[in-house]
Amino acid sequence: MKKVELLSPAGDLERLKIACIYGADAVYIGGKNYSLRANANNFSIEEIKEACDFAHKLGKRVYLTLNIVFHNEDIDGVYDYIKEVVEAGIDAFIVSDLFLVKYIKSNFSVEVHLSTQDSVSNLETVKFLENELVDRVVPAREVGRDELKEIIDNTNMDIEVFIHGAMCTFVSGRCVLSNYFTNRDSNRGGCAQICRFCFSINDMEEPFSMAVKDLNMSKYIKDMIEIGITSFKVEGRMRSPFYLAVVLSSYRRIIDAVYNDTLTDDLLEKEVKILSKVSNRENSSHFYFKEADLSDQYYVGRQEVSNQDYLGIIINREGNLYTINQRNYFKKFDEIEIITPNMDIISYRVDNLYNDKMESIDVANQADSILKIEIPLDLPLYSMIRKPYL
């Protein structure tokens, strides 16, 4: 049985590298044009080439989103752009426009994945797409478990499903709230996340929001593998490198444990705890087992609590002396956890702490400063330090 793919977002090259070394099998990115996350840094053609070179050396794949709603004016420039991206080494396009699906499949030997923006929600549509030579479908997020199983059992189509991250209030992002409120077109990359705002209506005492809880399928990964899903997609091209490292390594451990037949309740409980800690929102399995309802919503709004758990990343090593790029406050004798690209989580106490001139200090309180710590352990570069989760 082919192992399920863990697919990560990456808003820039740094995130792509972190995703690849923290357990993703494939990464999806946006170019400077035609991508639904216009606020992410996104990749130039040179960066797409560097991203593909880096990922391919590690045996990983890179997909490019081309999933805005295309109007007449968008089409002219897209032909040259597609050619440049193919030459840069991309493995697949994530496309929503049916003309572009046909154009890419007719002119290039590269995979085409149909974006969730198309809201594919039934077996007959997937059968039709199979005949039209789409390589993969990302169904609407509103498609439940039994419907997914029926589609998988009755087609040869690869099915990619979101497993973690933010959800849209409206069907697969088909929403114009952002256009009305901020003149930013969510279907062309400009969503201002208006559904998360608090609204007041004259005769209502409490303000309300339309925000939904985040998706978190960690408890159901085994079932999702068993019904035959091809790819597990994490949402969030704007998320931080730390968030990606924690989320991807956690899902990597769960997926590997399912295939190795070592998934225990204890292991799962630990990973669920880690995943709920890194995200500052409540979560739910949304439409997988039932229609979403009040329990999946934040009707009375929610407090965003800023996450200060990420303490730093190891960027260099000389013997046991590690150079750390600091991100948040910590001090000598604090208990910390070190997470490594090998999927280890190591508890440790900070016994010594130096600044970049090797002067002993007690407190690390300047974000983005360079610190040194002697740690008698063999730690790979890009290991991250965080507050204890376990």
Q: How far is CA 117 from the centre of its chain?
A: 17
Q: Which residues inside 174-233 make contact with ligand SF4, applying CB under 6 A?
A: 175, 177-178, 186, 191, 193-195
Which of 170/348 has CB closer to ligand SF4? 170
Rounded distance between C-alpha atoms, residue 69 and residue 177, angstroms: 16
Q: Is 81 in the site for ligand SF4 (CB under 6 A)?
A: no
Region of 183 please: left (phi>0), alpha (psi -120 to 50) or beta.
left
The β-bridge partners of 330 are: 364
Q: Does 323 sit near ligand SF4 (CB under 6 A)?
A: no
Q: Are 139 and 161 in contact (CB under 8 A)?
A: yes
Nearest distance, CB of residue 175 and ligand SF4, angstroms:
3
Shortest CB 128 distance to ligand SF4, Å: 26
Of the candidate residues 173, 236, 241, 312, the single one contacting ligand SF4 (CB under 6 A): 173
The least CB distance from residue 136 to ligand SF4, in Å, is: 22
What's the closest the beta carbon of residue 244 comes to ligand SF4, in angstroms?
20
- Give the interface segment with ligand SF4, choosing from 109-117, 163-171, 292-300, 358-366 (CB under 6 A): 163-171
What angle, 0 to 180 degrees and rounded to 10, lies between the N-to-C axes of helices 145-154 and 123-131?
A: 40
- Cα–Cα distance measured from residue 2 to residue 169, given in angstroms and rounded to the nearest whole number: 33
* Nearest-10 crossing angle of helices 98-107, 78-88: 50
List 81, 103, 108, 170, residue binding ligand SF4 (CB under 6 A): 170
Instruction: Candidates 10-18, 164-172, 273-281, 338-346: pick the segment binding ligand SF4 (CB under 6 A).
Output: 164-172
Q: Which range in 167-175, 199-207, 278-286, 366-374 contacts ligand SF4 by CB under 6 A?
A: 167-175
- Please provide residue 114's backbone torsions phi and psi, each rounded to the nearest 5 degrees: -80, 120
Task: Give the total of residues touching ligand SF4 (CB under 6 A).
Answer: 12
Nearer to ligand SF4, 243 or 310 (CB): 243
Stretch that binds ligand SF4, among 173-181, 223-231, 297-305, 359-367 (CB under 6 A): 173-181
168 touches ligand SF4 by CB under 6 A: yes
Q: Do the beta carbons of residue 233 and residue 7 sit within 8 Å?
A: yes
Of 178 and 231, the one with the shorter C-beta distance to ligand SF4 is 178
Residue 79 corresponds to which tokens in the numbers above?
Answer: 């032909």
Give the amino acid at 237.
R
Q: Which is nearer to ligand SF4, 116 or 178 (CB)?
A: 178
Contacts by residues 326-333 (CB-CB < 8 Å, ≥ 24 positions apart): 326/364, 326/366, 326/367, 326/368, 326/369, 326/370, 326/371, 327/242, 327/367, 327/368, 328/367, 329/363, 329/364, 329/365, 330/363, 330/364, 330/385, 330/387, 331/362, 331/363, 331/364, 332/361, 332/362, 332/363
Residue with tokens 């750390």: 324
Please give the residue ranges that form the binding site for ligand SF4 (CB under 6 A).
168-170, 173, 175, 177-178, 186, 191, 193-195
